[in-house]
Amino acid sequence: MISISDDIKIMVCTQPIDMRKQVNGLILLVVETLKQNPQSKQMFLFFGKTKDKIKALLWDNNGFILLYKKLEKEKFIFPQHIHSPIEINNDLFQALMRGFDFYRLKQHPELKITQYF
């Protein structure tokens, strides 16, 4: 399994893309559609209409890394009805790559208790 450094933000692009796009096409999507810097400390995840493939674009000091995963059975499960990129952590990325529905894996919110009794 691929391990991503904790200082890298992972952004899931929630709109399907044409999976024939390669590095340059994905860079254009990041710049023009997402209005982000593709050389930032972010990994951008993309999926197609059939949701059986995922591509990830990541800048690494002097060049781009393109990751591609195609599921032989099943589909990746992505949030629906969200029209902007969402940020996930490394644990959710690992769950997504293993086939879990990461959108339903919820962490309980951190409590800020000010009154104990």
What does the pLDDT average to over 71-94? Answer: 79
Give the β-pairing of 64-70 and 53-59.
antiparallel
CB 1 within 8 A of CB 13: no
In this predicted structure, the answer to whether residue 27 has a pLDDT above a threshold of 90 is yes
What was the pLDDT predicted at 104? 65
What was the pLDDT predicted at 46? 94
Chain-wide mean pLDDT for the chain?
85
CB 28 within 8 A of CB 41: no
Is 98 strand, coil or helix?
helix
Q: Is the dihedral of CA 98, 106, 9, 51 positive or negative?
A: positive
pTM (two decimals):
0.81
What was the pLDDT predicted at 77? 78
In this predicted structure, the answer to whether residue 15 has a pLDDT above a threshold of 90 is no
Which residue is listed with tokens 């994905």? 26
